[in-house]
Amino acid sequence: MSNDETALYEAILRIENVEECKNFFHDLCTPSELEEFSSRWLIARLLDTKKSYREIASQTGVSTTTIGRVARFIKYGNNGYKNILDKTK
């Protein structure tokens, strides 16, 4: 991991509330990047409720390829999705 990447994560950890977080990410990311992050997080939450790929695709308009990618990271990734999903329950 680069020093710049570490500095980004450290900056994110300093965020104190949702409004501050929203403002930071709106300044940091393009609207399409935010939409993509939001979409992936929604897919992760829907997969966690055991919805099928087809149900998720129908509900969100996202391709089953993207859903499969998120599912793969949930199962074989660095436990990032799992950890935060568990914390939000």
Show the domain range for 66: 3-87
pTM for the full predicted model: 0.90
Which phi and psi angles does 30 have, rounded to 5°? -75, 160
Of all residues in the chain, the percent with pLDDT exceeding 90 is 98
pLDDT at 1: 83
> What CATH number corresponds to the domain at position 12?
1.10.1270.10
Q: What is the pLDDT of residue 71?
A: 98
Query: 44: which residues sit within 8 A by CB, 6+ positions away?
Result: 70, 74, 81, 85
* pLDDT of the residue at 57: 98
Total number of domains constituting the chain: 1
CA dist 84 and 30 (Å) reads 23
